[in-house]
Structure 1
Amino acid sequence: MAELANCKSCGRLFVRVSSPYCPECLKEQDKKFDIVYDYIREQEHRMATVPQVHDATGVETELIYQWVREGRLVSAMFPNLGYPCKSCGKMITEGVICSDCRNKIQGDLHREDLEEEARLKANRLKTYHTRRI
């Protein structure tokens, strides 16, 4: 369903169908994508990192990160392209956080579960039961 929205890039009001960007900004992004893709498609630039691509093309790093996140630039074809982990900033190619941060969070959750279980067990030991006659 179409709705009115402000463009995420320029702030103009437009009828939003699917993208958060107005048609003019989408055209501009497509032109920038073509520039980036033409650059990294060349054999000598396939191993380029995002900062190197930014320096060579002038395209904003956030846009390049967005394209990698969306899968428009596939890390299988361009192995050094990635985007920063939301937690620590380490470069990743999938998900939102890196495996180290994911493991740390899972460990913290597991530790909290064990602590909660120990608290419940301690409370059960303090409970006295009486028999009703």
Structure 2
Amino acid sequence: MAEIRNCPECNEFFNYTGLREVCHKCAQKEEDLYQVVYRFLRKRENRAANVERIEEATGVKKDLLFKWVRKGRLHPALFPNLGYPCDNCGHLTTTGKLCEKCQNELKSDLRTFDAATEFRENVAQRDKGTYLADRKKR
């Protein structure tokens, strides 16, 4: 079921159905901008352009370029210098929400946490046993 929302670009009301985050008019403008960017990138000399170069040449904002890469409209396999910022450090990545460096750091932290948890459990198990105290003190 559709709900009425304000378009984040032009602040007009539109029926949000889950397909688009903006109104029809702004979606059409985005599509026109996408075509400009795609035509720019299809030229052989521009295929290796980075985000800053594309923004400079076409006038399209970085956020919109990042959105298209994230949604798979612009493929980093075809255009190798494209990506979107890592949610943790801001370094450009092409898959997921975290770059490879942040993923590796997170995996390392999780392994360390798991090892510490296992160590604490082993210590607790070992200390759980009963000890008989020697009643005769010397």
> Does the TM-score normalized on the shorter chain lie above 0.5?
yes
TM norm structure 1: 0.91
Kindly provide the CA deviation profile for residues 21-47 of structure 1, in whole angstroms up to 9, marking residues without a partner as x: 111110110111111111111111111
Alpha-carbon distance in structure 1 between the residues aligned to 2:129 and 2:51: 64
TM norm structure 2: 0.88
Number of the residue aligned with 1:64? 65
Number of the residue aligned with 1:4? 4
Identity of aligned residues (%): 37
Kindly provide the CA deviation profile for residues 81-117 of structure 1, in whole angstroms up to 9, marking residues without a partner as x: 1111111222111111111111110110111111111
Aligned Cα root-mean-square deviation (Å): 1.4
Alpha-carbon distance in structure 1 between the residues aligned to 2:126 and 2:95: 46
Alpha-carbon distance in structure 2 between the residues aligned to 1:55 and 1:29: 17
Alpha-carbon distance in structure 2 between the residues aligned to 1:128 and 1:43: 73
State the AA in 2 paired with 1:29.
E
- The 5 A counterparts of 1:60-99 are 60-99=61-100
Structure 2, unmatched stretches of 5+, are 132-138
Alpha-carbon distance in structure 1 between the residues aligned to 2:129 and 2:83: 59
Alpha-carbon distance in structure 1 between the residues aligned to 2:122 and 2:11: 56
Kindly provide the CA deviation profile for residues 38-87 of structure 1, in whole angstroms up to 9, marking residues without a partner as x: 11111111110010000011110100111011111111211111111111
- The 5 A counterparts of 1:10-29 are 10-17=10-17, 18-29=19-30
Residue 115 of structure 1 aligns to a residue whose secondary structure is: helix
